[in-house]
């Protein structure tokens, strides 16, 4: 199996390292020339909750050649149209494109490469790009080896090809086949909305959100909005790491303390993670916030569901984009506190 890791950033570097170490024929493809050079000369280096090194082959996009049996799509949705059209000459009839992007991009991916070629997936671990050739694993290592990916066919079937891809990805970390791919992607979207969104909007790691009473209550409301909008669009949320994520929905303010306790327990292994959107802001790059938190208000249209917490995340992240700076936690936490006082006055006094 010839594999392309398309988008060899923080996550792709780790994925490519473990695939190469497992004996797979794999190319890491990235536009960052210094990173590509470092990968080729010094190998892929993983630090953080583990220490790992692997010799890899890396190229820039214009140096793609031949055809790939499996493409692991880890680029940002912002660039999908161009990237996927450039990929087409390097696919054969049975090539598979596995979307491991944030959000729910599968329809747009299928519109370019063909639905028969697409399977979808959810990355269940976090990483931070440190410098060319070096990526930090931020998820606790045993958790990473147990739950690294969920993948699935768009129609929910367990096919021979999905089993083959699982076998390859198991070289990286625990890979689980989902028969409810839409629910899997929405479950991941919920976590991204609640924690990646707040990480970027506030300028902090996930642990900073967990440790802030206003931050964690805001995460509960973001999760609740995402669940309500998903249900209104006929989504059945899939379990994540065995956890029933739909159980985070609020029926009244009385549920909030329990949901706070649950979210803190579920997300504790990921407390060191820094959102890729925050890393984008640090580099003065445009983020994917419209494909993450922005999905909820868009899908809420016509459903009579309000989404003020997701709306606020989008507003604050886009403001930082425009100003080309990173937010200040103490400043940006204040509008969330005001929202909580308005929505749940008994929670924060």
Tell me: the pLDDT tens digits for 89-147?
Answer: 999 999 999 999 988 899 889 999 999 999 989 898 989 899 999 999 999 999 999 99
- Average pLDDT value for the chain: 95
For residue 346, name the pLDDT band (cuts at 50, 70, 90). Answer: low
pLDDT of residue 66: 97
Q: For the sheet with 52-54, list strands across it.
A: 52-54, 44-48, 134-137, 127-131
pLDDT of residue 336: 98
Residues facing residue 27 across a β-bridge:
4, 57
> Which domain range does residue 188 map to?
183-343
* Domain total of the chain: 2
Do both 158 and 192 map to the same domain?
Answer: no
- Angle, helix 213-232 to helix 256-267, in steps of 10 degrees: 100
pLDDT surpasses 60 at 240: yes
Q: How many residues does the chain have?
A: 349
Do both 90 and 190 map to the same domain?
Answer: no
pLDDT of residue 61: 97
Q: Please tell me the distance from the alpha carbon of residue 194 to that of residue 224, in angstroms, as a whole number.
A: 9
Do the domain assignments include residue 348? Answer: no
| CATH for 240 | 1.10.1040.10
Do both 174 and 70 map to the same domain?
Answer: yes
Q: Please tell me the distance from the alpha carbon of residue 18 to that of residue 22, in angstroms, as a whole number.
A: 6
Q: For the sheet with 25-29, list strands across it.
A: 57-59, 25-29, 2-6, 68-73, 91-99, 118-123, 149-153, 175-177
> Is the model more confident about 137 or about 348?
137
Do both 208 and 94 map to the same domain?
Answer: no
Q: Please tell me the distance from the alpha carbon of residue 349 to that of residue 342, in angstroms, as a whole number.
A: 11
pTM comes to: 0.77
Q: Which of 122, 152, 179 is the last residue of a domain?
A: 179
Do both 173 and 193 map to the same domain?
Answer: no
Do both 262 and 165 map to the same domain?
Answer: no
| CATH for 24 | 3.40.50.720
Q: Which helix (H) or strand (E) holds 107?
A: helix 106-113
């Amino acid at each position: 199996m010839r594999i392309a890791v398309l988008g060899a950033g923080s996550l792709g570097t780790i994925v490519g390292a473990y695939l190469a170490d497992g004996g797979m024929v794999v190319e890491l493809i990235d536009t960052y020339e210094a990173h590509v050079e470092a990968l080729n000369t010094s190998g892929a280096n993983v630090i953080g909750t583990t220490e790992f090194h692997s010799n890899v082959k890396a190229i820039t996009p214009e140096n793609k050649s031949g055809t790939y049996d499996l493409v692991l799509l880890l680029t940002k949705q912002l660039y999908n149209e161009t990237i996927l059209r450039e990929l087409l000459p390097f696919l054969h009839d049975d090539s598979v494109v596995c979307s491991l992007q944030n959000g729910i991009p599968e329809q747009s991916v299928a519109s370019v490469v063909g639905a028969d070629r697409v399977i979808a997936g959810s990355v269940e671990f976090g990483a931070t790009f440190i410098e060319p050739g070096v990526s930090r694993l931020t998820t606790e290592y045993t958790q990473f080896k147990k739950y690294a990916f969920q993948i699935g066919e768009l129609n929910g079937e367990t096919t021979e090809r999905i089993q083959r891809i699982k076998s390859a990805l198991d070289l990286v970390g625990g890979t689980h086949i989902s028969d409810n791919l839409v629910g899997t992607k929405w479950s991941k979207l919920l976590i991204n909305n609640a924690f990646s969104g707040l990480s970027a909007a506030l300028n902090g790691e996930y642990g900073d959100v967990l440790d802030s009473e206003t931050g964690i209550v805001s995460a509960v409301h973001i999760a609740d909005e995402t669940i309500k909008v998903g249900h209104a669009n006929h989504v059945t949320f899939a379990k994540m790491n065995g956890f029933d994520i739909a159980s985070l929905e609020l029926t009244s303010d009385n549920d909030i303390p329990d949901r706070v306790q649950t979210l803190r327990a579920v997300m504790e292994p990921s407390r060191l993670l820094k959102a890729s959107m925050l890393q984008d802001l640090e580099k003065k790059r445009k983020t994917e916030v419209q494909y993450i938190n922005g999905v909820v208000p868009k899908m809420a249209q016509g459903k009579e569901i309000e989404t003020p917490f997701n709306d606020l995340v989008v507003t604050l992240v886009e403001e930082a984009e425009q100003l080309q700076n990173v937010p200040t936690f103490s400043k940006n936490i204040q509008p969330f506190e005001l929202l909580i006082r308005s929505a749940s006055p008994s929670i924060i006094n």
